[in-house]
Amino acid sequence: MLVLSLSALAAADGAASPVRVGEAVVFQLSADAGGRPAKERAARASSAIGSVLERPELGEPRVEHSAGGASILIGDTLIVELSAADAVLAGEASLEAYANERSSALRHALASERKRSRIAGTVFAWSLVVFFGLIAFFLIKRLASLSDRARAWVDEHGDQSLAVRIKSIELVRPAVVKSSAVIALGLAKWLGQFGIFYAWLLVVLSLFDATRGYTERLTGFVLSPLSLLLGRTLAALPVLVVAGFAALAVFVLVRFVGLFLASVARRETVLGWLPADLAAPTSVLLRIAIVVGALVFAAPVVTGSADDSLGRTGTVVLWAFGIAATPLLATGLFGALLLFDRRLGVGDHVRIRGEIGRIIGINLLDLRILTSAGSEQRVPHLLLLVSPLERLGAAPRVSVELYAPRELPAVEVLAALTAIGNTRGNAALAEILEAGPGAVRYRLTATLASISDRSALLGAALEAVNAGSAGIHSGAASATMPLGRVE
């Protein structure tokens, strides 16, 4: 049994002060100790419990005994110092049993309070998820509505209100600005909606202990590249300003060239060295040359480095044009070989892919051939690498084939054909190609003044064979056999 002095018992306050864990009372203190009243001791103990309530890593409550009493601690935090008077007033037989019982009660109260706190926190977190989700949904819908209204305004007023002008010079047409504005509105809409969803996702992940670690990863994954890009952009800001003015100057030059050559195409401006029908393709080529030249030559001067992105872009574009123009360059080289080597000349008759015609023009890219039908064909020089070309000369040598009955004397037929060939042309040659059971196939070759005379040669040969002095009559030929053809 504890033996207390009358003065210690007399000092005990009749009203007990509760020590609380949250709203639950763990135990009560009724005695004054250490120069502090029971009420102050209970308040200090409740405050200490509140400070360690959200720190489960400190461990469980434990009791440490000393000569003057017993102390309840959680980790290194002192909760309360109990005295023998506390045990007597609580009706306990010993201070040790009283301290152990209060420590066990505190342990159970802490576990219950932490569980209740976790449940309340989870419910509150899910409530915030739903609340912020509704806000995000509202903002996404609001942003889509504003984007649609802006797009409707651009569609309705863009042709009249959107234009980039310097005084009376229209640098950018309203249609271009309108299409650019529509694209920008679409991008802004999707980026804004993604930003709202991303912010909501960060908030949701930060509400739960299990997903709080992913917040930093997601933030680093998305924001780190953006911050790095922003830092590089700010570091390169002076160069970007100069490059922007240079790009504006190139844009104004390209626009001026386009407008000027467009007026030439409309015959509003007359240039002696540029026909109106060539103004449009010249405008395209010249503007491409200006842009490529600016990227290749001006960009390194503006940025101060030949290895920057603009210089590499110009080099890539130049290589792309070079590769794309490889067939054209090969055709031009082959055409130069034909022109300067004098292998072909204007007026020569040629045969290509079974078609005979007369050359009426040779340039670096193609041959202009006038066919017997009177049409003009343009044959690219590169086609001659896979299709053989037969040069017939200025006076073409043409062959025609025809049939005669087998019973007619071959010598007389050959003589008649040779005579008509020398009459229509010169250097005529008649020969037998094939002797069949009912007819003989002949070929007549002669040098003519023009390829257009070949049909007349065949007609004269047929008439000579049918009505000549050899006595050949038209009924001698088989009805199912062609009378003649031209090679």
Instruction: Read off the pLDDT of residues 233-282 as tens digits, 9 standing for 90 and up.
Output: 777 677 777 777 888 888 888 888 888 888 888 888 888 888 887 788 78
- The candidate with the shortest Cα–Cα distance to 389, out of 338, 330, 340, is 338
Mean pLDDT of 306-334: 73
* Residues 253 and 279 reside in one and the same domain: yes
**In 162-236, which ranges are continuous DSSP H helix?**
174-206, 212-235
Return d(Cα 384, Cα 359) in angstroms, integer.
Answer: 14
What would the pLDDT profile of 25-38 be if each residue is shown by its tens digit? 777 787 777 677 88
pLDDT band at 136 (very low <50, low <70, confident <90, very high): very high
Residues 193 and 200 sit within 8 Å (Cβ to Cβ) = no
* Residues 367 and 426 reside in one and the same domain: no
Mean pLDDT of 434-446: 85
Residues 412 and 422 sit within 8 Å (Cβ to Cβ) = no
Q: What is the total count of domains within the chain? A: 4
Dihedral-angle region of residue 35 (phi above 0 means left; psi in -120 to 50 means alpha; beta otherwise): left
- The residues near 294 (Cβ < 8 Å, ≥ 6 apart) are 246, 250, 314
pTM tops 0.85: no
* Residues 404 and 388 reside in one and the same domain: no
Domain boundary residue, one of 118, 152, 174 = 118
Beta bridge partners of 24: 21
pLDDT band at 477 (very low <50, low <70, confident <90, very high): very low
Q: Give the start-end residues of each E strand in 66-125.
A: 70-74, 77-82
Return d(Cα 210, Cα 61) in angstroms, integer.
Answer: 26
Range of the domain at 93: 6-118
- The residues near 7 (Cβ < 8 Å, ≥ 6 apart) are none
Mean pLDDT of 411-432: 85
- 346 in a structural domain: yes
**Does the pLDDT of residue 478 top 70, yes or no?**
no
For the chain, the average pLDDT equals 77
- 125 in a structural domain: no
379: domain CATH number? 2.30.30.60
**Any idea what DSSP says for residue 209?**
T
Structure tokens at 225: 């590249």
- 348 in a structural domain: yes
* Residues 362 and 309 reside in one and the same domain: no
452: domain CATH number? 3.30.70
- 310 in a structural domain: yes
* Residues 414 and 343 reside in one and the same domain: no
Tell me what pLDDT residue 465 has: 73
* Residues 389 and 412 reside in one and the same domain: no
What would the pLDDT profile of 464-476 be if each residue is shown by its tens digit? 777 543 444 433 3
Mean pLDDT of 132-157: 88
Least confident of 134-138, 168-172, 449-453: 168-172
- 43 in a structural domain: yes
Return d(Cα 361, Cα 284) in angstroms, integer.
Answer: 27
What would the pLDDT profile of 215-242 be if each residue is shown by its tens digit? 777 777 777 777 777 777 777 677 777 7
* Residues 374 and 449 reside in one and the same domain: no
Return d(Cα 431, Cα 440) in angstroms, integer.
Answer: 11
Tell me what pLDDT residue 228 has: 77
* Residues 27 and 60 reside in one and the same domain: yes
* Residues 316 and 276 reside in one and the same domain: yes
- 143 in a structural domain: no
* Residues 374 and 403 reside in one and the same domain: no
pLDDT band at 170 (very low <50, low <70, confident <90, very high): low
First to last CA, the chain: 142
* Residues 70 and 96 reside in one and the same domain: yes
What would the pLDDT profile of 372-414 be if each residue is shown by its tens digit? 777 888 888 878 878 888 787 777 777 888 888 877 788 888 8
**Does the pLDDT of residue 333 top 60, yes or no?**
yes
pLDDT band at 484 (very low <50, low <70, confident <90, very high): very low
- 367 in a structural domain: yes
Residues 322 and 356 sit within 8 Å (Cβ to Cβ) = no
Least confident of 85-89, 173-177, 340-344: 173-177
Domain boundary residue, one of 74, 99, 118 = 118
Domain boundary residue, one of 86, 118, 150 = 118
Tell me what pLDDT residue 282 has: 84
* Residues 385 and 401 reside in one and the same domain: no
Of the spans 18-27, 58-67, 125-134, 390-399, which averages the highest pLDDT?
Answer: 125-134
Give the up-direction half-sphere exposure of residue 392: CA atoms within 13 A in the CB hemisphere: 24
- 157 in a structural domain: no
Q: Give the start-end residues of each E strand in 31-111.
A: 61-65, 70-74, 77-82
**Does the pLDDT of residue 177 top 90, yes or no?**
no
Of the spans 6-15, 127-136, 218-227, which averages the highest pLDDT?
Answer: 127-136
DSSP characters over 272-341: TTB-GGGHHHHHHHHHHHHHHHIIIIIHHHHHS-TTSHHHHHHHHHHHHHHHHTHHHHHHHHHHHHHHHH
